[in-house]
Amino acid sequence: MTDATANGKPQMLTTADGKPLKEALKRAQARARRKAFLLVLPLLAFILITFVTPIAQMLHQSVYNEGFVMHEDIGTRTRTPIMTNIKAWFDGNSAGTEPDEAAFAALHQDFLLLRELRAPGQVGTRVNYERGGSRSMFTKAARSAERMEPPYREAFLDVDEEWTDPELWRVMRDASSAYTFNFYLAALDRTKNVDGEIVSVDQNRQIYIKLFTRTLFLSVLITFLTFLLAYPIAHLLATLPLRYSNLLMIFVLLPFWTSLLVRTTSWMVLLQSQGVVNDALVGMGILGDENRLQMMYNQIGTVVAMTHILLPFMVLPLYSVMRPINPSYVRAARSLGATSWTAFRRIYFPQTVPGIGAGALLVFILAVGYYITPALVGGADGQLISNLIAFHMQNSLNWSLAAALAALLLAGILILYWLYDRLIGIDNLKLG
């Protein structure tokens, strides 16, 4: 009510018994709103727990790795800070300082603790993420730490000559604080040199940018192919009488009801060198037995299988915008003098754009994150970025790098979504 007067409106509307109308309205609506909120509460909680929290955690993981600074006992779950002495030395000396005896003495102290906690592997792994071959140095040094005598610098060098490598010390310095952007650098094929400057990694070790580009390219290609295939199907579905179109719709939806794995493996049956397609081509004499087509374990396999699997996601939004388009629009255009091509191009097609946008966005986003199909039929050549994320999650156990890659993927999709909104407008999206 103070708002109303502050707005400079002299008359305030009131109910019959003199209460401000706005208040009364608010109170009347509050109950309905509370009820509505209670109804969506389970969904809200579900989304928070299973969607928002994991994403937040993943984003955190991509900039936070405590492998070098904290040890957690698996049994007792007690957390012990580790590498504290060397951290103190790093804090006291600026980056690029030659490690002196004090540094090695601090390192020795830390290694004694590591040995006690049986944690040298963990620390070595963390350093190994950024400098290959470091893990064994850490385990070896920890084994001999108890026998070491001053001067520690020589003692460490006795174990491994690499211990004075400035690269190693740069990595340890970075790792000594749990928060770091180094994983993002790694995900973009970048690293820091000894002086802390950001540089590209060796040509032959650059994989992520290439994979991002390939993922993007293949996803665009797959989106385009699904569009080419889906547009006529959707048009047919939308124009056929209902009883035929329902039957056809079942064929479109059939892949939806089949396990993804089954679909992918059936493509393997079809596409492999001794598979149905090759056999048929050889049998018809189109191909010689010795030059069977290699259609699997490469990009062709990935593109073919994913186009098929993602096709319904393009057909359905297209169908949903085409169905309500009254045939009289095209008829009107024809009667007004347009050829059937002009009528299609200028009248029919523009009205299906919202469906194309929705379908393309849907297929593209799904394709960018696709994992199982490329893993099974892609071979080395047809792998997508998700396969690498999975690799870092399951095999190399470098979760921070996996998280950084995933975060970059997420950011890329958000940017595309924003672009889409700017260019086409998200209001125009029609999913059905």
- The yes or no reply on residue 418 touching another protein (CB under 8 A) is no
Closer to another protein by Cβ: residue 21 or 336: 336
Min separation Cβ 363 and another protein, Å: 23
Closer to another protein by Cβ: residue 44 or 426: 426
Contacts of range 135-141, beta carbons closer than 8 Å, 24 or more positions apart: 137/162, 137/163, 137/168, 138/114, 141/111
Closer to another protein by Cβ: residue 84 or 351: 351
- The yes or no reply on residue 338 touching another protein (CB under 8 A) is yes
Closer to another protein by Cβ: residue 222 or 322: 322
For the beta carbon of residue 119, count every other beta carbon within 10 angstroms: 23
- The yes or no reply on residue 239 touching another protein (CB under 8 A) is no
Q: Mask of contacts with another protein, 308-337, x by CB under 8 A?
A: ------------------x-xx-xxxxxxx
- The yes or no reply on residue 283 touching another protein (CB under 8 A) is no
Dihedral angle of Cα 327, 328, 330, 336, to the nearest 10 degrees: 170
- The yes or no reply on residue 244 touching another protein (CB under 8 A) is no
Q: Output the CA–CA distances (angstroms, integers) from residue 375 to 7, 370, 378, 404, in the order listed.
A: 62, 9, 6, 20
- The yes or no reply on residue 351 touching another protein (CB under 8 A) is yes
- The yes or no reply on residue 203 touching another protein (CB under 8 A) is no
- The yes or no reply on residue 342 touching another protein (CB under 8 A) is yes
Q: Which of 154, 207, 339, 432 binds another protein (CB under 8 A)?
A: 339
- The yes or no reply on residue 367 touching another protein (CB under 8 A) is no
Positions in 131-170 near another protein (CB under 8 A): none
Residue type for position 285: G
- The yes or no reply on residue 106 touching another protein (CB under 8 A) is no
Structure tokens at 240: 């056929």
Closer to another protein by Cβ: residue 115 or 323: 323
Residue type for position 77: R
Min separation Cβ 206 and another protein, Å: 46
Min separation Cβ 393 and another protein, Å: 46
Min separation Cβ 186 and another protein, Å: 48
Closer to another protein by Cβ: residue 151 or 350: 350
Min separation Cβ 431 and another protein, Å: 19
- The yes or no reply on residue 346 touching another protein (CB under 8 A) is yes
Q: Which residues contact another protein (rule: CB under 8 A)?
A: 326, 328-329, 331-340, 342-343, 346-347, 350-351
